[in-house]
Amino acid sequence: MSGSDQTIQLEEEFIDDSDNQIILADERYRIIGDILCETYQPGEGKWTLSDMLDKVFLHKYLGIPIFLVIMWSMFHFTFQASVVFMVIIQNFFDWVGGYASQIPIPWLASLLSNGLIAGVGFILSFVPPVFFLYLAISILEDTGYLARAAFVMDRVMVKMGLHGRSFIPLLLGFGCSVAAVMAARTVDGKANRFTTILVSPLMSCAGRLPLYVLIAGIFFPTIAGTVVFFMYILGIIMAVVMATIFKKTLFREESSPLLMELSMYQIPTVHGAIHHMWERGVLFLRQAGTYLLAGSVVIWMLSSFGPNGFGVPVQESFISIIGQFIQPLFAPLGFDWRIVVALIFGLMAKEAVVQSLAIIYSVQSDTAIAASLLASISPITAFALMVFVLLYVPCIATIGAIRKETESWKWTLLAVSYQMIVAYLMAGLIISLGGILFG
């Protein structure tokens, strides 16, 4: 029987099998191998550098530890390399804010110094870690390692019920959850695609990074890079855990391995890495220059005005009234009304969490946000806040993308509600364990 006849027979035999594509691919290569054995005389094989690197990076036991070390190194580099630039930007806006506060018109001086500069200016100080993160990702992508990382993680993901192709959308989630949700359309099968959509927002997007850097730098300065790395790993773990739950409850479709052609390793170019970094990082700048600017004005107005007009203490402002009304729901987590308000504005964009805290504390007093946070929450509560921001309701743009991709409000509401529940439970667990361990 010829090779083509064998292939046709196999296609007919496995046409209804859920894994027929994998089986047929394996059998085709087996048939090709049989034909080559009869017609091809191989010469002396030579190992290339890519072959040797793959023996290490794709090793059954070493692959995942190496992946974790590389990810840790990436976030440690991101934090350490950006510290100096963050201080320079913060000092610049402090200097500008000092001049703005001297404007003789009180409301205008407050708007510029406590609103726009304290809000947008403070967010812009986190541009360096965002850009350095994208630079590191670009370098790993250009070398060809990220494709290998997909294969390494695929073994775990398939065993846990997540489709092999889901790794790529989840990886995009490190940049933006909207891109991750939209990329899920490449995943085969409705059940696999919907599972990927539901868990994609659990990955740490760039909008969450400012809060991680802020909290880790204030409360855990000696291990800040490791704390930020842990948040990204926790996002991956929670995505896999929730995917497993969804696959065992809502969806029953079989997962399949990832098929991908691995290119040769390459040395990344400076031009290519910087170009990719700028292309992705400029989206962060656009957000800071558009709706985050508008958000600064709204937050400042709510913080500076109250029932008695302009200039009231922040505890008597409209934003305080809103926060104190909702705060009892978050009292078990140790979140005060300022944090609650910041989380509410975080629904607009995750960057707005840090932005809101900066404006509220700036309006309240001239004390630096670091000192204000240290005085108002404990390290355990701060860590619980990081986990809550990682897991709670995605931003409005992501919610819209989920609605568009699923074409259903039912699945959209499920995504919003389950993330809120998981975030609350995980933050509560941290507070409880912290109380037991540290009294």
More confident residue, 7 or 210: 210
Q: Which residues of 38-72 are buried (b: 16+ CB within 10 A; e: fewer)?
A: eeeeeeeeeeeebeebbeebbeeeebeebbeeebb
pLDDT in tens, 311-348: 888 888 999 999 999 999 999 999 999 999 999 999 88
Using DSSP, state whether 309 is helix, strand or coil: strand
Question: In this model, does residue 15 exceed pLDDT 50?
Answer: no
Instruction: Identify whether the C-beta of residue 352 lies closer than 8 Å to the C-beta of residue 346.
Output: yes
pLDDT in tens, 98-155: 888 889 888 898 888 888 888 888 888 888 988 998 888 888 888 888 778 777 777 7
Question: In this model, does residue 17 exceed pLDDT 50?
Answer: no
Residue 33 domain-assigned?
A: yes
The amino acid present at 200, given as its one-letter code, is S
Q: How far is CA 172 from CA 58, 183, 201, 238, in A?
A: 21, 8, 10, 16
Residue 53 domain-assigned?
A: no
DSSP classification of residue 117: I
pTM of the model: 0.80
Domain check: are 136 and 282 in the same one? yes
Q: How far is CA 328 from CA 307, 325, 419, in A?
A: 22, 7, 20
pLDDT in tens, 58-80: 888 888 889 889 888 888 888 88
Q: What pLDDT score does 111 carry? A: 87
Identify any residues that bridge with 309 across adjacent strands, giving them in sequence order: 306
Q: What pLDDT score does 358 carry? A: 87
Domain check: are 21 and 166 in the same one? no
Closest CA to 250 of 202, 190, 201, 200: 190
Residue 161 domain-assigned?
A: yes
- Rounded CA-CA distance 262/371 in Å is 49
- Rounded CA-CA distance 226/216 in Å is 9
Domain check: are 69 and 35 in the same one? no
- Rounded CA-CA distance 40/237 in Å is 47
Location of structure tokens 């400012």: 210
Domain check: are 29 and 95 in the same one? no
Domain check: are 248 and 126 in the same one? yes
Query: How many domains, the chain?
Result: 2
Q: What is the DSSP string of 142-184?
A: HHTHHHHHHHHHHHHHHHTT--GGGHHHHHHTTT-HHHHHHHG
Domain check: are 11 and 89 in the same one? no
Instruction: Identify whether the C-beta of residue 389 lies closer than 8 Å to the C-beta of residue 344.
Output: no
Residue 111 domain-assigned?
A: yes
Closest CA to 269 of 138, 172, 171: 138
DSSP classification of residue 267: P
Residue 291 domain-assigned?
A: yes
Pair type for strands 305-306 and 309-310:
antiparallel
Question: In this model, does residue 388 exceed pLDDT 80?
Answer: yes
Question: In this model, does residue 350 exceed pLDDT 80?
Answer: yes
Question: In this model, does residue 389 exceed pLDDT 80?
Answer: yes
Question: In this model, does residue 256 exceed pLDDT 80?
Answer: no
Q: Which of 17-21, 23-27, 336-340 has the highest mean pLDDT?
A: 336-340
Location of structure tokens 């550098």: 49
Domain check: are 121 and 254 in the same one? yes
Closest CA to 363 of 115, 76, 32: 115
Question: In this model, does residue 259 exceed pLDDT 60?
Answer: no
Q: Whole domain around residue 25: which residue ranges?
A: 3-45
Q: What pLDDT score does 25 carry? A: 64
Q: What pLDDT score does 418 carry? A: 96
- Rounded CA-CA distance 306/185 in Å is 47
Mean pLDDT for the stretch of residues 226-251? 88
Q: What pLDDT score does 8 carry? A: 52
Domain check: are 24 and 149 in the same one? no
Q: What pLDDT score does 75 carry? A: 83
Using DSSP, state whether 306 is helix, strand or coil: strand
Domain check: are 39 and 140 in the same one? no
Question: In this model, does residue 366 exceed pLDDT 60?
Answer: no
Question: In this model, does residue 9 exceed pLDDT 60?
Answer: no
More confident residue, 302 or 120: 302
Instruction: For residue 42, name the pLDDT band (cuts at 50, 70, 90).
Output: low
Question: In this model, does residue 396 exceed pLDDT 60?
Answer: yes
- Rounded CA-CA distance 379/439 in Å is 13
Question: In this model, does residue 27 exceed pLDDT 70?
Answer: yes
Domain check: are 38 and 80 in the same one? no
Location of structure tokens 């696999």: 192
Instruction: Identify whether the C-beta of residue 184 lies closer than 8 Å to the C-beta of residue 166.
Output: yes
Q: What pLDDT score does 261 carry? A: 62
Query: Which stretches of 247-308 are assigned E, i.e. beta strand?
Result: 305-306
Domain check: are 118 and 223 in the same one? yes
Residue 223 domain-assigned?
A: yes
Q: What does pLDDT average to over the chain?
A: 83
Residue 345 domain-assigned?
A: yes
Q: Which of 2-16, 166-180, 382-396 has the highest mean pLDDT?
A: 382-396
DSSP classification of residue 276: H
Residue 50 domain-assigned?
A: no
Domain check: are 30 and 152 in the same one? no
DSSP classification of residue 305: E
Q: What are phi and psi of 306, to 5 degrees?
A: -145, -170
